[in-house]
A and B are shown apart, each in its own frame.
Chain A
Amino acid sequence: MNFSFNREVEEKRLKDIFGFSKFYDTQWDVISKVMSNKRILLIEKTGFGKSLCYQYPATCLPGLTIVISPLIALMRDQKKFLDKYIIPAATINSGQTPEENKEIIDKATRGEIKILYIAPERQGNTTWLENILNFNISFVVIDEAHCISTWGHDFRPYYRRIINLIDRFPANFPVLATTATATKRVQKDIEEQIGSSFSTIRGNLLRNNLYLNVLKVESEEEKFLWLAENISKLDGSGIIYTGTRANSELFSRWLNFHGVNTAFYNATLESEERIEIENGFMDNKFKCVVSTNALGMGIDKPDIRFIIHTQITQSPVHYYQEIGRAGRDGKPAKIILLYNPSKDSDLPLSFIESAKPDTNKYYKVIEALREERHTFTTLIKKVDLKQTVFRVIIADLIDMGIVVETIENKSKKYEIKFNAPGLNFDMHLKLKEAKLLEFGEMLFYANTQSCRMNFLCNYLGDNSADDCLICDNDLKIFEKVPANDSLAEKLSYFKENYFPEIIVESSGSNIVNGVAADFYGFSNTGQIIHKAKYENHAEFPETILFRLIAAFDSKFDVNEIDIVTVIPPTISGDIVANLAKQFSEKLGLKFSRDLVKTRVTQPQKVFQTNYNKNENIKNAFEFLNPGQILGKTVLLIDDVFDSGVTIKEAGRVLTRCGAAKIIPLTIAKTVTGVD
């Protein structure tokens, strides 16, 4: 081991390796404890230099340092940083091929890597397990350790299992857990979970370059108006956080309408598109990115100058974490919460309410597993639950000690554990109560008349903070909604002419992104569709036809279309086909009903999981007389765009029949939730 416990000596070495001349006192404290084989929980604000607390010891220790990290993007950033200082680091992750990962494992076995980043899920990988026994491990680090705690706002089931892993390490083996956001409650939980062998080092959390503001509005429209009026006046680039995916698109388009260069970002985007937006944001190509909370931890941009929330978060911890991304360079950054007291509690409360699936869904999974062992895919098909719901249930059942995840021939199988305890939802009730309390605290933040930063620091367990003197309450300067009639008119014009995008492009298919006439549920379009399809089986009213044409016109040119076709109905008769026919006639386009089903399918909405939706529709279409679309551009009409499975499958079939381009057009697009 190459460590002297002499600060001067080590600072000289620090300078040689990293170019920094001094350790902060806290860093030195942590590093010397790690080097004395201690276990430390380090709570320090973003930008403090937590990473150095393990990177430096890693260069002193003889063996490998393993860093467990929640996000591939974080791992890559850290590796890039270490590459600069020629410290051999690598990441093993699901984004790399098994061969690439194996090569890194081999290097680690040969001692050619000093710092290895892995996700907690790696513990379930057979290649990893077979090879780790040949490693020489000196030190383990848990990054973003608040994920360990059930009370942490980013609770990840595999993270929770790290606790057990750590408990299984030999005594006198150093472990460092780091986080920027841990309330006293989370700290206590982590301490309890990881045992008394840990000691906590907590820094102060005050960020004295964040200018905190809350603007109370009386309607959703006022948020649009404020943004249109003010966004260009803000320095630099930033992030606007929205509560729903639909809103990320809507706010982004509204700002585009005003000539502001923005992109929207949410979990529905393909990963290439996401990376493109992330890179564009890093390179200041956008004034702002409008995003759900999908844009987050992975973004390490030091000069984010503003962060605006159009939706109040579920807790002060979420809020502190999200605004913490601003001003990492230490320069001023403006933080604004747009808050409508009469409406904005709905979304967080519905999340808290529906955070856990219904009890009967848990029983459904248990019943299926009592009959036989299942892989992820066979089980999700069997129980037919939405993937998000299913993942929560499986994680909970594993956490409760009812289900175990076994590895069989490189694939995972779930089974019930012998002597498993019964289902117990006490923890869920406690969690829900805790979340309601946390949300109450967030409302308090929005309403407080004293220093906002002081409130946040106190809430996060740092009671040493003074008033920031730069928040709206301390300065007594408050943001206002602009009184601007022409802007309000523009907004209603915008909304009337706003058509949501349908994002379906993927390689291997000639389908392109299309457009929908409306969001399902935003206006009365949803009701009209429902009524026509399921109640009176009448034709769609003419307003729908006009809106469909307007949607089409907003994005496409009638001259580029060769032929119009329609997704054949499951049960609702010919009304969509008739609409498509009217549409074609109005625009003078050729219409064909040659896209037909080769077998009976179920309505997609009866299935919860995309696995079953896919199976329901796979190879169910064919196009008669394909000669008429060979090399042509096809406009493909359907009523509601939801999961996209049907439209994508039809796109695949039309591509196979020779269509050069397929443009989807639907009456409505569902408003899918939050990321």
Chain B
Amino acid sequence: MKELNRDTYLIALSHIQDVSTKTVNGILKEFGSEAGAYANFFELTADEMLSKHNIPIEEAVKIAEFKSQLPNFAFLNDNLVNQGFTMVAASDSNYPANLINNLGYDRTPSILYLKGDIEIFKEQCIAIVGSRDANEDDLNYTALLSKKATQEFKVVVSGFAKGVDKKALDSALELNGKSILVLPQGILTFKSGINEYYKKILSGDVLILSTFYPTAPWLVKLAMARNAYIYGLAGEIYIPKTNDSGGTWAGATSGIKKGRKVYVRYLDGKLPANLKLIELGAIPLDEEGDEIKGFVRGGKVNPKKKKNIKPPYEEGNLFEN
């Protein structure tokens, strides 16, 4: 029998209130794509879920209560598939490895809702994100970074926000590059973008991705949460321009803390928030989009040490070499 109902269980589990991602991902790891195992699991009482599968009792109670709603999710699952969306679970082999490596298996989204070519995940991905209120110069620099990445056959991950995000996407596509759009909303509520990028989705150059409940509308808190997934999907993070608060900033600082490679435009220290990030440990980029080697804190470049010399990073810098 075709096991189309695995995703019904999966969608339902991923969106039960007050059940943690860790718990859901644990269940996914245990059962994989075995629909029958999920069916048996839902037959259990909360106590049995605790004793047999180690589910914390408060969460087990929620899951057991949710059982009667499962048939509803069959309708949702069916509708998503009929509209050409696909679902990938954290335990599936085609789930993006970057996300698990960067966020940790316990915190990576249990389910991804997608439209487009999921093979893109196998390619090298970089994130280009930044301020919504970017000026022309910021946008030109964004385009430069995006095109550079595209020429190196890297996939540009961005958030489909105004300003830097949108420019990064469009510049990559201009050179027939590939891009992943990470949505700040449920995939069923994203309409205009699918129309705009339809041909690029068809040609396999754009992949639309959402981690949220499919009918969720755009919300600020989802936009904030979404940034972590943009950073998570990418190997490296590029920031043409940031403010010293908001999603880009929050994502970048937390990335730096975790030892991620975060590249920021330096522009002779004229962008205050960018400079702050560099002070916190981001890697400065010159006007060609290349790393400024031998950069020292305080915003000065030591020209003598520019090439082939290990940069004198400050103590406490978490960058890996």
A residues contacting B by CB (< 8 A) are 63, 123-124, 129-130, 132-137, 140, 161, 164-165, 167-173, 195-197, 370-373, 404-409, 415-419
- The verdict on A168 contacting B115 (CB below 8 Å), with A136-B68, A406-B84, A418-B204 known, is no
Given A165-B75, A418-B84; 4 other pairs, CB 8 A cutoff = A168-B8, A169-B70, A172-B43, A409-B191
Which residues between 28 and 44 of chain B lie within 8 Å of chain A, taking CB atoms?
A: 35-36, 39, 42-43
Chain A's closest residue to B115 (CB) is A418
- The verdict on A170 contacting B76 (CB below 8 Å), with A130-B215, A406-B83 known, is no
Q: Choose, from B54-62, B193-201, B246-254, B295-303, the stretch at the interface.
A: B193-201
A406 to B83, CA, bound (A): 5
Chain A's closest residue to B40 (CB) is A171
Residue among A63, A169, A417 facing the most chain B CB atoms (10 A cut-off) = A169
Residue among B75, B84, B188, B191 facing the most chain A CB atoms (10 A cut-off) = B75
A265 to B74, CA, bound (A): 40
CB–CB B1/A169 < 8 A = no
CB–CB B5/A372 < 8 A = no
CB–CB A169/B116 < 8 A = no
| Residue B78 CB within 8 A of the other chain | yes
CB–CB A171/B39 < 8 A = yes
- The verdict on A404 contacting B75 (CB below 8 Å), with A372-B198, A418-B117 known, is no
Chain A's closest residue to B116 (CB) is A418
List residues of chain A with CB within 8 A of the CB of B215. 129-130
CB–CB A196/B8 < 8 A = no
List residues of chain B with CB within 8 A of the CB of A405. 82-83
- The verdict on A135 contacting B70 (CB below 8 Å), with A167-B4, A405-B82, A406-B83 known, is no
A123 to B202, CA, bound (A): 25
Pick 22 A–B contacts, CB within 8 A, sort by A: A123-B75, A161-B78, A164-B81, A165-B74, A165-B75, A167-B1, A167-B4, A169-B8, A171-B5, A171-B35, A171-B36, A173-B70, A173-B74, A373-B194, A406-B84, A408-B191, A408-B195, A415-B198, A416-B202, A418-B115, A418-B116, A418-B117
Chain B's closest residue to A135 (CB) is B72
Chain A's closest residue to B7 (CB) is A168
CB–CB A170/B9 < 8 A = yes
Residue of A124, A129, A173 near B71 (CB, 8 A) is A173
Distance (Å) between the CB of B309 and the closest chain A CB? 47
Inter-chain residue pair count (beta carbon < 8 A): 110
CB–CB A418/B68 < 8 A = no
Distance (Å) between the CB of A608 and the closest chain B CB? 26
Residue of B2, B7, B191 near A195 (CB, 8 A) is B2
B residues contacting A by CB (< 8 A) are 1-2, 4-5, 7-9, 35-36, 39, 42-43, 68-79, 81-84, 115-117, 188, 191, 194-195, 198-199, 201-202, 204, 215
CB–CB B76/A129 < 8 A = yes
A161 to B75, CA, bound (A): 12
Chain B's closest residue to A132 (CB) is B75
Distance (Å) between the CB of B9 and the closest chain A CB? 7
List residues of chain A with CB within 8 A of the CB of B83. 404-407
CB–CB A123/B79 < 8 A = yes
A141 to B137, CA, bound (A): 62
List residues of chain B with CB within 8 A of the CB of A161. 78, 82
CB–CB A169/B117 < 8 A = no
A318 to B239, CA, bound (A): 67
A507 to B218, CA, bound (A): 45
List residues of chain A with CB within 8 A of the CB of B71. 137, 140, 169-170, 173
Chain B's closest residue to A194 (CB) is B1
Distance (Å) between the CB of A159 and the closest chain B CB? 13
Distance (Å) between the CB of A531 and the closest chain B CB? 50
CB–CB B76/A124 < 8 A = no
List residues of chain B with CB within 8 A of the CB of A370. 199, 202
CB–CB A167/B68 < 8 A = no
Residue of A123, A373, A408, A416 near B82 (CB, 8 A) is A123
A135 to B73, CA, bound (A): 10
Residue among A135, A161, A416, A418 facing the most chain B CB atoms (10 A cut-off) = A418
A372 to B68, CA, bound (A): 41
List residues of chain B with CB within 8 A of the CB of A170. 5, 8-9, 39, 42, 70-71, 74
A417 to B201, CA, bound (A): 9
List residues of chain A with CB within 8 A of the CB of B199. 370-372
A404 to B194, CA, bound (A): 13
A500 to B84, CA, bound (A): 48
A140 to B194, CA, bound (A): 33
A130 to B8, CA, bound (A): 16
CB–CB B79/A129 < 8 A = yes
List residues of chain A with CB within 8 A of the CB of B195. 373, 408
A408 to B193, CA, bound (A): 11
Chain B's closest residue to A196 (CB) is B1
- The verdict on A172 contacting B39 (CB below 8 Å), with A129-B75, A373-B195 known, is yes
CB–CB B2/A167 < 8 A = yes
List residues of chain A with CB within 8 A of the CB of B36. 171
Residue among A124, A133, A370 facing the most chain B CB atoms (10 A cut-off) = A133
CB–CB B116/A164 < 8 A = no
CB–CB A197/B5 < 8 A = no
A164 to B75, CA, bound (A): 10
A211 to B71, CA, bound (A): 46
List residues of chain B with CB within 8 A of the CB of A172. 39, 43
A196 to B84, CA, bound (A): 26
CB–CB B78/A164 < 8 A = yes
A609 to B39, CA, bound (A): 49
Distance (Å) between the CB of B66 and the closest chain A CB? 11
- The verdict on A165 contacting B1 (CB below 8 Å), with A130-B215, A417-B84, A418-B201 known, is no
Distance (Å) between the CB of A485 and the closest chain B CB? 63
Chain B's closest residue to A405 (CB) is B82
Chain A's closest residue to B5 (CB) is A168
A133 to B195, CA, bound (A): 27
Residue among A161, A197, A404 facing the most chain B CB atoms (10 A cut-off) = A404
A170 to B42, CA, bound (A): 9
Distance (Å) between the CB of A553 and the closest chain B CB? 56
Chain B's closest residue to A173 (CB) is B71
Distance (Å) between the CB of A18 and the closest chain B CB? 26
A552 to B292, CA, bound (A): 94
List residues of chain A with CB within 8 A of the CB of B5. 167-171
Distance (Å) between the CB of B177 and the closest chain A CB? 17
List residues of chain B with CB within 8 A of the CB of A195. 1-2
A564 to B68, CA, bound (A): 70
Chain A's closest residue to B15 (CB) is A133
Residue among B4, B35, B215 facing the most chain A CB atoms (10 A cut-off) = B4
A636 to B138, CA, bound (A): 69
Chain B's closest residue to A406 (CB) is B83
List residues of chain B with CB within 8 A of the CB of A373. 194-195, 198
List residues of chain A with CB within 8 A of the CB of B79. 123-124, 129
A195 to B36, CA, bound (A): 14
List residues of chain B with CB within 8 A of the CB of A408. 191, 194-195
A147 to B211, CA, bound (A): 36
Distance (Å) between the CB of A38 and the closest chain B CB? 14
A419 to B207, CA, bound (A): 12
List residues of chain B with CB within 8 A of the CB of A164. 4, 78, 81-82
CB–CB A404/B84 < 8 A = yes
Residue of B9, B39, B194, B202 near A406 (CB, 8 A) is B194
A144 to B115, CA, bound (A): 34
A603 to B173, CA, bound (A): 45
Chain B's closest residue to A161 (CB) is B82
List residues of chain B with CB within 8 A of the CB of A136. 68-69
List residues of chain B with CB within 8 A of the CB of A196. 1
A407 to B215, CA, bound (A): 12
A135 to B71, CA, bound (A): 9
A164 to B4, CA, bound (A): 7
A140 to B35, CA, bound (A): 20
A165 to B72, CA, bound (A): 11
Chain B's closest residue to A420 (CB) is B202
CB–CB B84/A133 < 8 A = no
Chain A's closest residue to B43 (CB) is A172
A161 to B4, CA, bound (A): 13
